[in-house]
Amino acid sequence: MNKQNRNPAVFAVTLAALGIVYGDIGTSPLYALKESFSAAGLLPSEANVFGFVSLIIWSLLLIVTLKYVLFILRADNKGEGGVVILMQQAIQYLHGKSAWLVMMMGLCGAALFYGDAMITPAISVLSAAEGLTVLHPDFKNWVMPIALSILFVLFMIQKHGTQKIGALFGPIMLVWFAVLAWIGVYQIMQYPRVLLAVNPFYGISFALEHGWGGFAGLGAVVLAVTGAEALYADMGHFGRRPIQLAWLGLVLPALGLNYIGQGALLLHHPAAIVNPFFMSVPKWGLLPLIVLATAATVIASQAVIAGAYSLTRQAIQLGFSPRMSIVHTSADEMGQIYMPTVNWLLFAAVILVILLFHNSEHLAAAYGIAVTGTMVITSLLFCVVMIKNWGWPKWLALGLTAVFLCFDLVFFGANLLKLTHGGWFPMLVAVFVVFLFTTWRYGRHLMAVEQRRQDCPLDEFLANLRAYPPQTVGGNAVYMVSSLFSAPRALLHNLKHNKVLHEYNVLLTVQTKDTPYVPDRERLAIKQLDSRFTRIIASYGFQETPNISHILAAASKQGIDLEIADTSFFLSRDSISVLDKTPHSHMGRLRTGLFKWLYKNSTPPTDYYRIPSNRVVELGAQVLL
């Protein structure tokens, strides 16, 4: 009975995983084989077709199936995955320079994802719109306006969340992969000899015989595995088993058949190299395929947009990014969020990418570096996890990592050849994002050091209050404080300027754990300090967003009943100043100026923690850096 009940649930989750996890890699057939020939500057002879198809098939088998599906998916943190998760696990047992190096690798991997998130919507939607040129060459001038319109609508509807339309993603992608397989089988039947390309000998021979041309072609072959990171990053939404079932049961066979089918088309119709995907179907099927491809590319874009929201929230919670407004679009799924700032910055970046590169062929050069760079970093971090977290023998972990890097480094090296032809873009984005992350984290560290220097120990403060009690007023006061051992600065300012103390006071500390989620039973830790002071420590995972109303509701269940109408929230909002004698500060003039701007424009705690604005009092002072 249990088994019968479980199977439909697994099927439903697997179907949902098709829509979210495999949208990116599922749309790679639109451009991967075409760009491989273009990058290598080769014509579709039998040897070349067999070579490229063999390389693509074995990339899917070795990189996606072996590396990600069988190994990387096991490196989860309570079911959550992604390069930030991998960094968090790898850094647990490290100290000093080793921990710093691992942290920087994780930040670089996260930064490269932002480059991916900018390029994926652009190249996917452009590739689908370019199918119109197969209908008629005169449609070429309509490709960019159509692509820009689709992207504008896509980013516009993000504020409504994916809960309602998310149910459509899985069935649409199911149809998409079925069509991919059908197209492949149809073309293979026209030229069955193409099945010989499954032999890895053809791929190896091609790579060895063509020298730099073959090496350059490898940089485009990797386009077939773009989206492999999504298998790991989205694991928390669906679990390991549905992702593995979807890949092995449908996605891998469909992709393999389609690439082989495109190869068959090129063998008996070499002129189809201009767009082998759309020319694989009869004319009557072209328009429906364009519509379906457009839907699939929108879904692929939706996945990376949602991933950018999640990654930014992780960065905020882990202290690498200033606070930004987070809107929860679903009452049931905490992972479904909308971040207006990230949404429109990403939209502007995607439009910039399209205007810079104009078409999918030029974008392909930029795409590969973001993907392969992340793959290299994932392999290195996974090696640390195998040795430090899992306790594997070094020879085994290093040997397996060497196997992964044999492919990752070759693909990364091949894409470096495109550095001047668009590959500079994701590298520039990654450098900028890492610069932002490290500037914010180091700036917050310097602020904390300076604030601790001015702090008053909590025990001494409470003893002084008992010895010299101030005037008391009715009501409750909640002071948000980062340190457990210091008196809140807002409380000190309140006593200094208003010379009164509330009848009941709560010192609230919100902590971010190194796990994605914290169970409700472990959410609060409450300690009575004396008759007028209570400490509450609220713990959240880095995949969660703190919420004051939830904290107060949980506290009420434990006997701390704070009526919102009778409670004031005191927040410390310090301003940053730089000493004249040290105009370059500890970070340098540029980074100090950037940090001040980020701090000034970060979302106020009132909005971030959902505190009623009419119950907030902000007090602060200058902090010298």
What would the pLDDT profile of 504-514 be if each residue is shown by its tens digit? 899 999 988 87
The CATH number of the domain where 372 resides is what?
1.20.1740.10
The predicted pLDDT at position 585 comes to: 54
Looking at the domain assignment, is residue 447 inside a domain?
A: no
Same-domain check for residues 369 and 510 = no
Give the Cα separation of 299 and 20 in Å (integer).
Answer: 7
Write the CA distances from 281 to 146, 250, 262, 416, integer angstroms: 22, 21, 10, 35
Same-domain check for residues 345 and 225 = yes
Average pLDDT of the residues in 183-210: 91
Domain with 184, as residue range(s), is 2-422
DSSP string for 582-607: -TTTTT-HHHHHHHHHHHHHSPPHHH
The predicted pLDDT at position 4 comes to: 40
The predicted pLDDT at position 1 comes to: 36
The rounded mean pLDDT for the chain is: 84
Average pLDDT of the residues in 253-269: 95
Radius of gyration, alpha carbons of the chain: 27
Same-domain check for residues 319 and 403 = yes
Answer whether residue 61 shows pLDDT above 90.
yes
Give the Cα separation of 300 and 304 in Å (integer).
Answer: 7
Answer whether residue 163 shows pLDDT above 60.
no
DSSP letter at 282?
A: -
User: For the chain, how are helix, strand and coil distributed in percent, rounded to 5?
Assistant: 70, 10, 20
Same-domain check for residues 492 and 347 = no
Same-domain check for residues 394 and 462 = no
Residue scoring higher pLDDT (256 or 604): 256
Residue scoring higher pLDDT (528 or 453): 528
Domains: count for the chain: 2
Looking at the domain assignment, is residue 444 inside a domain?
A: no
Q: Is the separation of the CB atoms in 517 and 78 below 8 Å?
A: yes
**Domain edge (last residue) among 422, 445, 464:** 422
Same-domain check for residues 131 and 18 = yes
Tell me the percentage of the chain whose pLDDT exceeds 70: 93
Give the Cα separation of 351 and 152 in Å (integer).
Answer: 9
> What tokens appear for 619 in the block?
């007090």
| Burial readout 416-447 (b: 16 or more C-beta within 10 A, e: otherwise) | bbbeeebbebbbebbeebbebbbbbbebbebb
Closest CA to 155 of 380, 340, 429, 423: 340
The predicted pLDDT at position 624 comes to: 63
Looking at the domain assignment, is residue 441 inside a domain?
A: no
Looking at the domain assignment, is residue 451 inside a domain?
A: no
What is the rounded (10 degree) CA torsion for 477, 481, 483, 484? Answer: 30
Looking at the domain assignment, is residue 428 inside a domain?
A: no
Same-domain check for residues 374 and 300 = yes
pLDDT band at residue 144 under the 50/70/90 scheme: confident
DSSP string for 88-125: HHHHTT--HHHHHHHHHHHHHHHHHHHHHHHHHHHHHH
Q: Is the whole-model pTM more than 0.85?
A: no
Closest CA to 508 of 539, 464, 553: 539
Closest CA to 68 of 290, 286, 300, 252: 252
Answer whether residue 302 shows pLDDT above 60.
yes
The predicted pLDDT at position 387 comes to: 92
pLDDT band at residue 578 under the 50/70/90 scheme: low
Same-domain check for residues 474 and 371 = no
Answer whether residue 142 shows pLDDT above 90.
no
Looking at the domain assignment, is residue 278 inside a domain?
A: yes
Same-domain check for residues 484 and 348 = no
Average pLDDT of the residues in 590-600: 85
Looking at the domain assignment, is residue 587 inside a domain?
A: yes
Looking at the domain assignment, is residue 440 inside a domain?
A: no
Same-domain check for residues 490 and 572 = yes
The predicted pLDDT at position 17 comes to: 77
The predicted pLDDT at position 584 comes to: 47
pLDDT tens string 332-391: 555 567 889 999 999 999 998 888 887 777 777 777 788 888 899 999 999 999 999 899
Same-domain check for residues 514 and 366 = no
The predicted pLDDT at position 178 comes to: 95
Same-domain check for residues 416 and 470 = no
